[in-house]
């Protein structure tokens, strides 16, 4: 089942069989890589978020089916059930959060340190007013913050008290007023975790990234 209000779910009709996918795969991969380039945001030395949509989820399922040689409807439907939960609904952004850890030393350092990271990413929308004050109660003034929420179904599998996972699935839920503020920007993506000071200042989203994510928020 997809999340409440989620984008139109992917169905079996959206997934090409293995032979058909091999014929389209090269062009489809190029398309997805180009889209993901704008949807991928790195913050500090080891954290990257990729914002997902229907296209990126279809690619994930096609690649999984190809790698595992899935040929039955039942096998594909299982993957559809898993990944449709990650589709954003109107007023939502859905992202895969990666800890880019490539060696044993990095794993030992960061996985215990970044427990709770799935609740520590924030969108800062707007700018401070002339007085330098932020007014979270009025999205037309100041900077408003929207904090990440772990995807519930996966959180039970990925959340641990003493060590975190290298992959998390998170969601940002915005009010209509916050979506309007997102449209005009600026928007900064930051990590407010005590063990990750490099992320506190955040990264301002470029126009291409912000406009792609705005389409998600508007359910386009």
Does residue 1 form part of some domain?
no
Are 108 and 114 contacting, i.e. CB atoms less than 8 angstroms apart? no
Least Cα distance to 84 among 61, 118, 50 occurs for 61
Q: For 67-81, write each residue's pLDDT tens digit.
A: 999 999 999 999 999
Whether the per-residue pLDDT at 14 is higher than 50: the answer is yes
Q: Which pLDDT band holds residue 220 (cuts at 50, 70, 90)?
A: confident
- Parent domain of 171: 12-217
Q: In the chain, how many domains are there?
A: 1
Q: Which pLDDT band holds residue 129 (cuts at 50, 70, 90)?
A: low
Does residue 5 form part of some domain?
no
pLDDT at 127: 86
Measured CA to CA in angstroms, residue 214 lies from 102, 135, 218 at distances of: 32, 22, 6
Handedness of CA 172, 176, 180, 183 (dihedral sign): positive
Does residue 7 form part of some domain?
no
Does residue 4 form part of some domain?
no
Does residue 3 form part of some domain?
no
Does residue 92 form part of some domain?
yes
Q: For 186-197, write each residue's pLDDT tens digit.
A: 999 999 999 999
Please name the residues in contact with 25: beta carbons below 8 A apart, sequence gap of 6 or more: 62, 66
Q: For 156-215, write each residue's pLDDT tens digit.
A: 666 677 999 999 999 999 999 999 999 999 999 999 999 999 999 999 999 999 999 999
Least Cα distance to 141 among 152, 126, 155 occurs for 126
């Amino acid at each position: 089942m997809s999340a409440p209000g989620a984008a139109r779910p992917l169905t079996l009709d959206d997934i090409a069989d293995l032979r058909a996918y091999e014929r389209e795969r090269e062009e489809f991969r190029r398309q997805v890589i180009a889209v993901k380039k704008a949807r991928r945001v790195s913050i500090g030395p080891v954290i990257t978020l990729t914002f997902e949509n229907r296209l990126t989820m279809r690619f994930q399922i096609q690649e999984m089916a190809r790698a595992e040689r899935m040929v039955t409807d039942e096998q594909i439907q299982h993957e559809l059930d898993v990944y449709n939960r990650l589709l954003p609904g109107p007023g939502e952004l859905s992202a895969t959060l990666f800890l880019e850890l490539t060696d044993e030393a990095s794993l030992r350092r960061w996985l215990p340190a970044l427990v709770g990271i799935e609740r520590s990413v924030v969108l800062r929308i707007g700018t401070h007013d002339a007085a330098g004050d932020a007014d979270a109660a009025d999205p037309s003034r100041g900077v408003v913050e929207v904090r990440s929420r772990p995807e519930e179904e996966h959180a039970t599998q990925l959340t641990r008290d003493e060590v975190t996972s290298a992959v998390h699935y998170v969601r940002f839920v915005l009010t209509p007023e916050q979506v309007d503020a997102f449209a005009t920007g600026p928007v900064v993506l930051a990590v407010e975790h005590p063990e990750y000071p490099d992320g506190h200042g955040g990264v301002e989203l470029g126009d291409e990234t912000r406009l792609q994510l705005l389409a998600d928020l508007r359910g386009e």
